[in-house]
C-alpha cells in the first residue's frame, strides 16, 4: 500500500542510507538481481496476470501478451546489456597511457529517482524504469503503480530500502534528484492507410490497435477515400467477432467492468457477480465513420471505439495525421515499405511504424541513460609531459606550438616550423626527462 506521510519520511531516510552501499556494488552484481527479478516474474506469471486483471480491468490474455511476458524479456535484456551501457567510455587512445594520461566518461548514479504514473503500461514500463534505475545504482520511489511490482523485486533479493511505493499525489520533484514520468494512458494513436495497403493486414492491426488494451492503443484511423475497398465493412465484421466478458477469463478479448451487476450499477471493482448486462453492451466494440472535426476523432473516447476519417487524397490524409497525431504513435500502411518510410519522415510523431502496429521497445542504453549522470574523469601522472605550469616556460610553449603545427597545420608550413623551433624542442625534451 502507498506509504503515509510519516512512513514515507522513514522510507526516504532508509533509502538515503542504503543507496550509497548499493551504488558501490559492481554493476555485474546489481545485474544479477535484475536477472533474478525476471525469473521471479515468471514464477508468479499466472497469479500476477489474474491480480492485474482485477486491478486494471485489462483482459488477462492481453496483460500476458503486452505487459508481463515483454517485461520478463526486457528485464533479462537489461541484466545482459545494461553493464555495457554503464561501462566507462575511453575518450583518449590507449597509447596515451604510455604518456601518463587518460580521459574517460564514467556513469555515476543519480541518487534518489522517482518513477511517476499512472502509466499507459500498468506493469512493464514501471518495472523496467525501476529496474534500470536500480541497475544504475539508485534508490527508487514509485508513485501510482501497482503494489505487486515492488514485491517482485523484493523476491529477487533487492533490499526493500531501495524501493518505496508512494501515493499518486506525492510531490516527487521535491524529494527526488530526478523524476521519470511514465507515458500517460490514452487512445490518441493513429493508423494512416494509404492507397494499395493490404486490407487483411490493416484489419488485423486496426482491431489490435483500436480494441486492445496496451500502451500503443490507437482509437483513430485515417484513410484515403476508396484507397482500400471494403475496409470499413471488414473492420465492422472483425469487431463484431470479438468476445466481450470478464477480464479474468482467458478467452475474453474486450472486458466489461468487474463487479458490475446485470443492472450496470457501476459498483467498484471486485468479484464479478451476475451477468455483464449493460456493462457488456457498453463495452462492445464499434467502428464509427466521422468527419475530421468530430470531437470523437479529436479526442478519442476511453472505450472500445475505432473512429475512422476518410480523406480526399494522400496529401490530405498525411497532413491530417501530422496535425492530429503530433504527440501519439502512428502506423503507416501503404503499397510498399519504401513509400511508407518516406511518409514517416514527414510526421512529427514520437513513434512511427511502417507495415505494423506494435509496442515500441526502448533500447537498453536509452533507458539506462535516464538514470545515470555522465561525468568526465581525467588523470595525468606527475611525470606526464605537457602538464601546464606557472611560470610559463617559453621553450615548452614553443615546443607545443610546433608539434601542433606539424600535426594539424598546413603541409607547406610543417618543415619550416620544425627548423625554426628545433633548439626549443631539444631544450624542452631535456627538461621533461
Are 187 and 302 a contacting pair, CB within 8 Å?
A: yes
Residue at 17 is within a domain: yes
Calpha distance 199→215 (Å, rounded): 24
Q: What is the grid cell recorded at 161? A: 530500502
What integer pLDDT is reported at residue 281 of this predicted model? 58
Residue at 274 is within a domain: no
Q: What is the grid cell recorded at 132? A: 534500470
pLDDT digits (tens, 9 = 90+) for 63-106: 999 999 999 999 999 999 999 999 999 888 887 777 788 899 99
Are 329 and 189 a contacting pair, CB within 8 Å?
A: yes
What integer pLDDT is reported at residue 265 of this predicted model? 36
Residues 233 and 210 placed together within one structural domain of the fold: yes
pLDDT digits (tens, 9 = 90+) for 192-245: 999 999 999 999 999 999 998 888 889 999 999 988 999 999 999 999 999 999
Residue at 316 is within a domain: yes
What integer pLDDT is reported at residue 263 of this predicted model? 38
Residues 93 and 136 placed together within one structural domain of the fold: yes
Residue ranges in the chain modelled with pLDDT below 50: 1-3, 259-275
Locate cell 501478451: which residue? Answer: 65
Calpha distance 129→182 (Å, rounded): 9
Residues 162 and 81 placed together within one structural domain of the fold: yes
Residues 305 and 427 placed together within one structural domain of the fold: no
CA-based nearest residue to 253, from 243, 239, 263? 243
What integer pLDDT is reported at residue 261 of this predicted model? 37
Are 210 and 330 a contacting pair, CB within 8 Å?
A: no
Residue 346: HSE in the Cβ half-sphere, 13 Å Cα cutoff: 17
Residues 75 and 178 placed together within one structural domain of the fold: yes
Calpha distance 296→283 (Å, rounded): 16
What integer pLDDT is reported at residue 433 of this predicted model? 60
What integer pLDDT is reported at residue 259 of this predicted model? 46
Residue at 95 is within a domain: yes
Residue at 147 is within a domain: yes
Residues 55 and 169 placed together within one structural domain of the fold: yes
Are 167 and 5 a contacting pair, CB within 8 Å?
A: no
Share of the chain above pLDDT 70, in %: 92
Residue at 76 is within a domain: yes
Residues 223 and 130 placed together within one structural domain of the fold: no
Residues 220 and 72 placed together within one structural domain of the fold: no
Are 329 and 218 a contacting pair, CB within 8 Å?
A: yes
Calpha distance 18→21 (Å, rounded): 6
Residues 55 and 129 placed together within one structural domain of the fold: yes
Calpha distance 403→384 (Å, rounded): 16
SS (H, E, C) 266-291: CCCCCCCCCCCCHHHHHHCCEEEECC
Angle among Cα 236, 358, 304 to the nearest 5 degrees reads 35
Residues 427 and 336 placed together within one structural domain of the fold: no
CATH code of the domain containing 197: 3.40.309.10
Residue at 420 is within a domain: yes
Residues facing residue 220 across a β-bridge: 190, 307
What integer pLDDT is reported at residue 6 of this predicted model? 83
Residue at 49 is within a domain: yes
Residues 323 and 342 placed together within one structural domain of the fold: yes
What integer pLDDT is reported at residue 246 of this predicted model? 92
CA-based nearest residue to 334, from 225, 195, 220? 195
CATH code of the domain containing 14: 3.40.605.10
Q: How many domains does the chain have?
A: 3
User: By residue range, what is the domain housing residue 199?
Assistant: 193-242+285-350
Determine if residue 362 is left, alpha or beta; phi over 0 gives left, psi from -120 to 50 gives alpha, anything else beta: beta
Residues 290 and 344 placed together within one structural domain of the fold: yes
Amino acid at each position: 500500500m502507498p506509504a503515509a506521510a510519516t512512513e514515507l519520511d522513514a522510507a526516504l531516510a532508509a533509502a538515503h542510507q542504503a543507496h550509497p552501499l548499493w551504488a558501490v556494488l559492481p554493476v555485474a552484481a546489481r545485474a544479477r538481481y535484475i536477472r533474478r527479478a525476471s525469473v521471479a516474474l515468471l514464477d508468479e506469471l499466472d497469479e500476477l496476470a489474474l491480480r492485474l486483471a482485477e486491478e486494471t480491468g485489462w483482459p488477462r490474455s492481453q496483460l500476458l501478451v503486452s505487459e508481463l511476458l515483454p517485461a520478463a524479456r526486457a528485464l533479462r535484456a537489461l541484466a545482459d546489456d545494461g553493464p555495457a551501457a554503464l561501462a566507462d567510455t575511453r575518450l583518449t587512445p590507449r597509447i596515451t597511457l604510455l604518456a601518463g594520461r587518460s580521459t574517460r566518461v564514467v556513469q555515476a548514479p543519480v541518487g534518489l529517482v522517482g518513477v511517476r504514473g499512472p502509466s499507459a503500461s500498468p506493469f512493464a514500463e514501471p518495472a523496467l524504469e525501476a529496474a534500470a534505475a536500480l541497475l544504475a545504482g539508485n534508490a527508487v520511489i514509485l508513485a501510482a503503480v501497482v503494489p505487486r511490482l515492488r514485491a517482485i523485486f523484493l523476491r529477487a533479493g533487492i533490499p526493500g530500502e531501495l524501493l518505496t511505493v508512494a501515493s499518486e499525489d506525492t510531490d516527487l520533484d521535491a524529494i527526488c534528484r530526478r523524476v521519470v514520468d511514465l507515458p500517460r494512458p490514452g487512445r490518441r494513436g493513429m493508423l494512416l492507410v494509404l492507397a494499395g495497403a493490404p486490407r487483411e493486414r490493416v484489419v488485423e492491426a486496426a482491431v489490435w490497435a483500436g480494441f486492445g488494451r496496451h500502451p500503443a492503443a490507437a482509437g483513430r484511423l485515417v484513410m484515403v477515400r476508396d484507397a482500400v475497398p471494403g475496409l470499413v465493412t471488414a473492420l465492422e465484421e472483425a469487431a463484431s467477432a470479438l468476445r466481450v466478458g470478464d477480464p479474468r477469463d482467458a478467452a475474453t478479448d474486450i472486458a466489461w467492468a468487474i463487479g458490475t451487476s446485470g443492472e450496470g450499477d457501476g459498483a467498484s471493482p471486485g468479484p464479478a457477480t451476475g451477468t455483464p448486462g449493460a456493462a457488456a453492451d457498453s463495452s462492445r466494440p464499434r467502428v464509427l465513420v466521422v468527419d475530421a472535426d468530430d470531437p470523437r476523432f479529436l479526442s478519442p473516447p476511453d472505450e472500445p471505439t475505432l473512429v475512422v476519417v476518410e480523406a480526399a487524397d494522400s496529401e490530405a490524409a498525411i497532413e491530417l495525421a501530422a496535425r492530429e497525431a503530433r504527440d501519439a504513435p502512428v502506423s503507416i500502411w501503404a503499397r510498399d515499405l519504401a513509400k511508407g518510410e518516406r511518409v514517416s519522415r514527414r510526421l512529427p510523431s514520437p513513434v512511427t511504424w511502417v507495415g505494423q502496429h506494435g509496442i515500441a521497445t526502448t533500447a537498453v542504453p536509452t533507458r539506462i541513460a535516464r538514470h545515470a549522470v555522465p561525468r568526465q574523469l581525467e588523470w595525468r601522472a606527475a611525470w606526464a609531459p605537457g602538464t601546464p605550469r606557472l611560470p610559463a616556460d617559453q621553450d615548452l610553449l614553443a615546443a607545443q606550438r610546433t608539434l601542433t603545427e606539424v600535426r594539424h597545420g598546413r603541409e607547406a608550413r610543417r618543415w619550416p616550423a620544425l627548423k625554426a623551433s628545433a633548439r626549443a624542442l631539444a631544450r624542452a625534451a631535456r627538461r621533461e626527462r
